[in-house]
Chain A
Amino acid sequence: MRPVLIVLTVLAAALFAASLLTGPAGIGTVDGLRALILGGEGPMPIVMREIRLPRAILGLAVGAGLGLTGAAMQGYLRNPLAEPGLIGVSGMAALGAVIAIQTGLSATAALALPAAALLGAAIGVGLLVMLAGPRGGSITLILAGIAISALAGAGTALVLNLSPNPYAANEIVFWLMGSLADRSMLHLWLALPPMAVGAALIWTTGRALDALTLGEAAASAMGVSPSGLRWRLILGVALVVGPATAVAGAIGFVGLVVPHMLRPWVRARPGALLPASALGGAALLLAADIAVRLILPERDLKLGVLTALVGAPLFLHLIWKTRSGGRM
């Protein structure tokens, strides 16, 4: 195992524990862990098991999913600007989720929520791959991403504004920015299985992505089936981003920042970047989720605010570099 993976695993595990121990109830470390593992009487086990545990696991899973899909899309599109949040894949997933919730589909069948979000994400990533392709054209990718993002955002706002529910319109910000506040085990069981399948599917693309760095022709010569790779990638990204967005909203920039920071540590090999980015994404999202609880505990500050504060300057920097030097 590479040292970078060990460091990232330790970091993510530490942040997972910190996430479990962060909260307004002021539960001590020992008491909290005992209540979590052994249970017992009183409200403390409920807080630890029903409130903090699902939040921490979701932080880990959603962060890992976003890091992984970001790395995979960047590898396939051969473009460092690709990221599910920015180019509308998460937005399309949010639109699917909002439609499932507001039409009542998610109330009749619980699986309708992740399924609709998955479908939205698949349409988003499918459109992007169709338009931009693996040749790495930045302009096409960004323009297509802007269009898909804008369409998804407007659709989400429209559906929520049409809802008869007085709270619905205020939730536009959740779907645009994401939050893990007060998610329960029910959400976890809804999102985790499809995300695991999607992650496994993306895992299998590692070697093909490595081959693709030599160019499409060389990759084909090495036995990589272009259409097979494309479909595995689209399906894998949709399976991860769709359910993650359905329960946590659209969280941007995780899939951008993490692969960018870790790329030098894996000698820029897309295949090796996949596990590193998953671990790094988990660590980043857990850290952001701890921060929102420490900075403004009473306000439910959205996760996307923090990730954008870190990620947007980096995004501008990347655009600057692609503008002056062709592509990276």
Chain B
Amino acid sequence: MRGSVPVSDQIRGGLAAILLASLAAPAGAGPQRVVSMNLCTDQIAMLLAAPGQLISVSDLARDPRMSPMAEQAAAYPVNHGRAEEIYLMRPDLVIAGQYAPGPTVAMLRRLGLRVEVLPPAESIDAIRGEIAHMGRLLGRQRAAEALLARFDQGLGAARHDRDRGRAALYYANGFTSGRDTLAGAIIEAAGYDNIAADYGITDTTALPLELLVMSRPDRLITGARWPGRSRSEAILDHPALASVAPRTAGVTDRDWICGTPFILRAIEALE
């Protein structure tokens, strides 16, 4: 596509600047021993924390299939979301995702730790809110503002207002995502209409293969493949999918999982 080279350069430049910014700047008055136990909060915390402030991230943050910051995460000790190991790290702030096991969070609170639970960011506004919230929690408002400015800049370059046709998201077990999900927000930002809207789907839910075929998407974006094999993923090999959208070329990889500035790469990949 013409004009895409400078745009993607801008995005890459913006991401590099974001990553560099997180390494500079001294620690503020915020908490000094922070443990993050969720893949998504791991990434925003790594982007914002002062050197030495973040003492552990979740084990998933090191998984290159799920984490765009797997290399950076290798520098941090990992936790597996278990109350005992996290308590022994002596944190003064624990950041958990909304889907952290309730008993674990309750146990940590009973042990006297401050636990902040962050909901997953399912839209671009929510990502901005999450970055600002994390900045306040860590006492790193300045770093958060700088990250937000770069995110907005990258978004301005990546966003596509032109109508580029209809796209379908299709995952294992025949699930699709609608408007109110992160994946939906990504394809909307890239200038596609989501076929899920035809069936009134706004969140992530099952869509029969027949209905997907009948909606005739111009572009099909399928879920990432996981190691090992499963019958659930076999639906992505169904010949009907291949014949309805031959120009597939889209996979929801690690940049699609969490509401972080890395979604800019996902938007760019849809060019």
Contacts and interface: CB of A to CB of B under 8 A. Distances in A.
B227 A164 contact: yes
30 contacts: A23-B208, A25-B208, A25-B211, A25-B214, A42-B216, A43-B213, A43-B215, A43-B244, A44-B214, A46-B243, A46-B244, A50-B240, A51-B240, A101-B230, A104-B229, A163-B229, A163-B230, A165-B228, A165-B230, A165-B233, A166-B226, A167-B226, A167-B230, A167-B231, A182-B238, A186-B237, A186-B239, A298-B206, A298-B208, A300-B173
A171 interface: yes
Given A24-B210, A24-B211, A43-B214, A168 B240 contact: no
A107 B229 CA distance: 9
B231 A174 contact: yes
Given A101-B229, A101-B231, A300-B206, 5 more contacts: A47-B214, A164-B228, A168-B229, A171-B231, A297-B208
B209 A182 contact: yes
A184 interface: yes
Interface string A181-208: 1101110000000000000000000000
Contacts of B209: 51, 182
A322 interface: no
Nearest to B174: A182
Interface string A36-51: 0000001110110011
Contact of A163 (B174, B206, B228, B244): B228
B210 A23 contact: yes
B137 interface: no
Best-surrounded residue of B230, B235, B239, B243 (most CB of chain A within 10 A):
B230
Contacts of A9: none
A102 interface: yes
A299 B228 CA distance: 25
A225 interface: no
B239 A50 contact: yes
A170 interface: yes
A53 B47 CA distance: 52
Interface string B221-259: 000001111111111011110011000000000000000
Contacts of A25: 208, 210-211, 213-214
Contacts, number: 94
B172 interface: yes
A159 to B, nearest CB: 10
Nearest to A24: B208
A231 B231 CA distance: 32
Interface in A131-181: 163-168, 170-171, 174, 181
Contact of A184 (B174, B233, B238): B238
Contacts of A106: 229
Best-surrounded residue of B213, B226, B233, B243 (most CB of chain A within 10 A):
B213
Best-surrounded residue of B211, B215, B228 (most CB of chain A within 10 A):
B228
Given A25-B211, A47-B213, A184-B239, A168 B206 contact: no
A232 B12 CA distance: 67
Nearest to B171: A167
A168 B239 contact: no
- Please list the 8 inter-chain residue pairs (A to B) with the smallest Cβ-Cβ separation, ordered nearest first: A165-B228, A167-B232, A50-B240, A167-B230, A25-B210, A163-B228, A164-B228, A24-B208
Contacts of B210: 23-25, 47, 51-52
A171 B211 contact: no
Nearest to B208: A24
A178 to B, nearest CB: 11
A101 B231 CA distance: 9
A60 B270 CA distance: 42
Nearest to B231: A171
Contacts of A51: 209-210, 213, 238, 240
Given A51-B240, A182-B238, A184-B239, A102 B228 contact: yes
Interface string A284-328: 000000000000011110000000000000000000000000000
Given A182-B209, A185-B239, A300-B206, A167 B244 contact: no
B212 to A, nearest CB: 9
A246 B187 CA distance: 37
Contacts of A104: 229
A116 to B, nearest CB: 13
A106 B231 CA distance: 12
A186 B241 CA distance: 13
B230 A50 contact: no
A26 to B, nearest CB: 9
Contacts of A165: 226-230, 233
